Chain A
Amino acid sequence: MDDESPGVPGFRTWRGIYLFVFGCFVVVVVLLALFSRVFA
Chain B
Amino acid sequence: MNLTDWVVLLSTMLGIAAYGTWQTRHSSHLDTYLKGNASTRWGTIGLSVMATQASAITFLSIPGQGFESGIGFVQNYFGLPLALIIVCAVFLPIYRRLGVYTAYEFLGRRFDAKTRLLGAGLFLVQRGLASGVTIYAPAIILSTVLGWRLDLTILFTGSLVIIYTVTGGSEAVSLTQKWQMGVIFGGMATAFVILLAKLPEGLGFGGAAHIAGAMGKLQAVDFSVDPSKRYTLWTGLLGGLFLSLSYFGTDQSQVQRYIGGASLREGRLGLMFNALLKIPMQFFILLLGALVFVFYQFERPPVFFNQAEWRRLAHGTDAGKFRALEADHAAARAEAQTKIQAWLRARTRDDTLLESAARTAMLDSQRRVEAVRTQAKAAITAADPRAKTKDSDYVFITFILTQLPHGLIGLLVAVMIAAALGSKASELNALGTTTTIDFWRHFRPLTAHDEARNIRVAKWFTALWGVCAIGFALFAGFAENLIEAINILGSIFYGVVLGVFLVAFFLKRVGGTAVFFSALASQTLVIVGYFTLSIGYLWYNLIGCAVCVVFSVFLQTLLGPTTKTEGTR
* CA A2 to CA B276, docked complex, whole Å: 21
Find out whether the CB atom of A35 lies under 8 angstroms from the CB atom of B265: no
Find out whether the CB atom of B219 lies under 8 angstroms from the CB atom of A40: yes
* CA A35 to CA B218, docked complex, whole Å: 8
Q: Does B85 contact A (CB under 8 A)?
A: yes
Least CB separation from A2: chain B residue: B93
Find out whether the CB atom of A36 lies under 8 angstroms from the CB atom of B280: no
* CA A33 to CA B279, docked complex, whole Å: 13
- Please provide the chain B residues from 375 to 391 with a CB less than 8 Å away from any CB of chain A in the complex: none
The listed residue with most B CB atoms (<10 A of its CB), out of A1, A5, A8, A22, is A1
Find out whether the CB atom of B85 lies under 8 angstroms from the CB atom of A22: yes
Give the residues in chain B near A22, CB-CB below 8 Å: 81-82, 85
**B490 CB, min distance to chain A CBs, angstroms:** 25
Find out whether the CB atom of B265 lies under 8 angstroms from the CB atom of A4: yes
Give the residues in chain B near A40, CB-CB below 8 Å: 213-214, 218-219
Q: Does B363 contact A (CB under 8 A)?
A: no
* CA A4 to CA B220, docked complex, whole Å: 38
**Given A4-B265, A35-B218, A40-B218 in contact, is the A21-B81 Cβ separation under 8 Å?**
yes
Contact of A28 among B209, B212, B279 (CB under 8 A): B279
Give the residues in chain A near B272, CB-CB below 8 Å: 17, 21
* CA A24 to CA B279, docked complex, whole Å: 11
* CA A13 to CA B26, docked complex, whole Å: 38
Give the residues in chain B near A17, CB-CB below 8 Å: 268, 272
**B87 CB, min distance to chain A CBs, angstroms:** 11
- Please provide the chain B residues from 83 to 114 with a CB less than 8 Å away from any CB of chain A in the complex: 84-85, 88-89, 93, 96-97
Give the residues in chain A near B283, CB-CB below 8 Å: 32
Find out whether the CB atom of B275 lies under 8 angstroms from the CB atom of A25: yes
Q: Does B269 contact A (CB under 8 A)?
A: yes
Give the number of chain B interface residues (Cβ < 8 Å). 32
The listed residue with most A CB atoms (<10 A of its CB), out of B96, B214, B221, B264, is B221
Q: Does B69 contact A (CB under 8 A)?
A: no
**Given A7-B265, A24-B276 in contact, is the A1-B85 Cβ separation under 8 Å?**
no
**B471 CB, min distance to chain A CBs, angstroms:** 42
Find out whether the CB atom of A33 lies under 8 angstroms from the CB atom of B96: no
**Given A25-B81, A28-B280 in contact, is the A39-B213 Cβ separation under 8 Å?**
yes
* CA A1 to CA B272, docked complex, whole Å: 18
Least CB separation from A5: chain B residue: B265
* CA A29 to CA B232, docked complex, whole Å: 12
Find out whether the CB atom of B219 lies under 8 angstroms from the CB atom of A36: yes
Find out whether the CB atom of A29 lies under 8 angstroms from the CB atom of B265: no
**B271 CB, min distance to chain A CBs, angstroms:** 9
Q: Does B368 contact A (CB under 8 A)?
A: no
- Please provide the chain B residues from 215 to 247 with a CB less than 8 Å away from any CB of chain A in the complex: 218-221, 233
Find out whether the CB atom of B264 lies under 8 angstroms from the CB atom of A25: no
Find out whether the CB atom of B221 lies under 8 angstroms from the CB atom of A32: yes
Give the residues in chain B near A2, CB-CB below 8 Å: 93, 264
Find out whether the CB atom of B220 lies under 8 angstroms from the CB atom of A36: yes
Q: Does B53 contact A (CB under 8 A)?
A: no
Q: Does B33 contact A (CB under 8 A)?
A: no
Find out whether the CB atom of B276 lies under 8 angstroms from the CB atom of A21: yes
**B197 CB, min distance to chain A CBs, angstroms:** 20
Find out whether the CB atom of B88 lies under 8 angstroms from the CB atom of A14: yes
**A25 CB, min distance to chain B CBs, angstroms:** 4
Give the residues in chain B near A33, CB-CB below 8 Å: 220-221
* CA A31 to CA B265, docked complex, whole Å: 30
The listed residue with most B CB atoms (<10 A of its CB), out of A7, A14, A38, is A14
Contact with A along B333-354 (1 / 0, CB 8 A): 0000000000000000000000
**Given A25-B275, A32-B283, A36-B221 in contact, is the A14-B81 Cβ separation under 8 Å?**
no
Q: Does B431 contact A (CB under 8 A)?
A: no
Q: Does B74 contact A (CB under 8 A)?
A: yes
Find out whether the CB atom of A36 lies under 8 angstroms from the CB atom of B93: no
Least CB separation from A6: chain B residue: B265
Contact of B209 among A4, A24, A39 (CB under 8 A): A39
Q: Does B59 contact A (CB under 8 A)?
A: no
Find out whether the CB atom of B269 lies under 8 angstroms from the CB atom of A36: no
Q: Does B263 contact A (CB under 8 A)?
A: yes
**A22 CB, min distance to chain B CBs, angstroms:** 7
**Given A35-B218, A36-B219 in contact, is the A25-B82 Cβ separation under 8 Å?**
yes
Give the residues in chain A near B263, CB-CB below 8 Å: 4
Find out whether the CB atom of A39 lies under 8 angstroms from the CB atom of B210: yes
Least CB separation from A24: chain B residue: B276
**A9 CB, min distance to chain B CBs, angstroms:** 13
Give the residues in chain B near A25, CB-CB below 8 Å: 78, 81-82, 275, 279
Give the residues in chain B near A35, CB-CB below 8 Å: 218, 220
* CA A21 to CA B273, docked complex, whole Å: 9
**B483 CB, min distance to chain A CBs, angstroms:** 27
Give the residues in chain A near B279, CB-CB below 8 Å: 25, 28, 32
28 residue pairs of the A-B complex, CB under 8 angstroms, read A1-B93, A1-B96, A1-B97, A2-B93, A6-B265, A8-B269, A17-B272, A18-B85, A18-B88, A18-B89, A21-B84, A21-B272, A22-B81, A25-B81, A25-B82, A25-B279, A29-B78, A32-B283, A33-B220, A33-B221, A35-B220, A36-B218, A36-B219, A39-B212, A39-B213, A39-B218, A40-B213, A40-B219
**20 other A-B residue contacts (CB within 8 Å) besides A21-B84, A22-B82, A22-B85:** A2-B93, A6-B268, A8-B269, A14-B88, A17-B268, A18-B88, A21-B275, A24-B81, A25-B78, A28-B279, A28-B280, A29-B78, A32-B220, A32-B279, A35-B220, A36-B218, A39-B212, A39-B213, A39-B218, A40-B213
